[in-house]
Amino acid sequence: MRFVVDAQLPSALCQWLEQRGHEAAYVPQVLTGDTSDTIIARYAAAGRFVVITKDEDFSGLIARHDFSLVWLRCGNLRNAELYQWLETRFSLVEHLLAKGERLIILR
């Protein structure tokens, strides 16, 4: 799967995803200038990326743009805690994305 990681998440999340066999891009590294949520949604749709974010605004964009979204609802965590939190949930994310789910909310 191809993921694009939103800027408010750590860039190292890309490496975490890549270690699990996925492609990952970090918004600040692939988009310059205007990186509004709409621009990111268009980028994700064009490249068939799954957006991974903590930003609730993306949930309103999936109806207008053809991309999938993993919305993390975990609050503020240190990086190690974030990866541990994701580790227990990510196989479900992969399963749901493979089935064609477009909006996955992780709590």
* pLDDT tens, position by position, 65-96: 999 999 999 999 999 999 999 999 999 999 99
Average pLDDT, the chain: 96
So what's the pLDDT on residue 43?
97
So what's the pLDDT on residue 103?
98
So what's the pLDDT on residue 78?
96
So what's the pLDDT on residue 34?
75
Q: Domain limits at 34?
A: 2-106
Number of domains making up the chain: 1
pTM over 0.85: yes
> For position 53, which CATH number holds?
3.40.50
3-state SS, the chain, equals: CEEEECCCCCCHHHHHHHHCCCEEEEHHHHCCCCCCHHHHHHHHHHHCCEEEECCHHHHHCCCCCCCEEEEECCCCCCHHHHHHHHHCCHHHHHHHHHCCCCEEEEC
pLDDT at residue 7 tops 80: yes
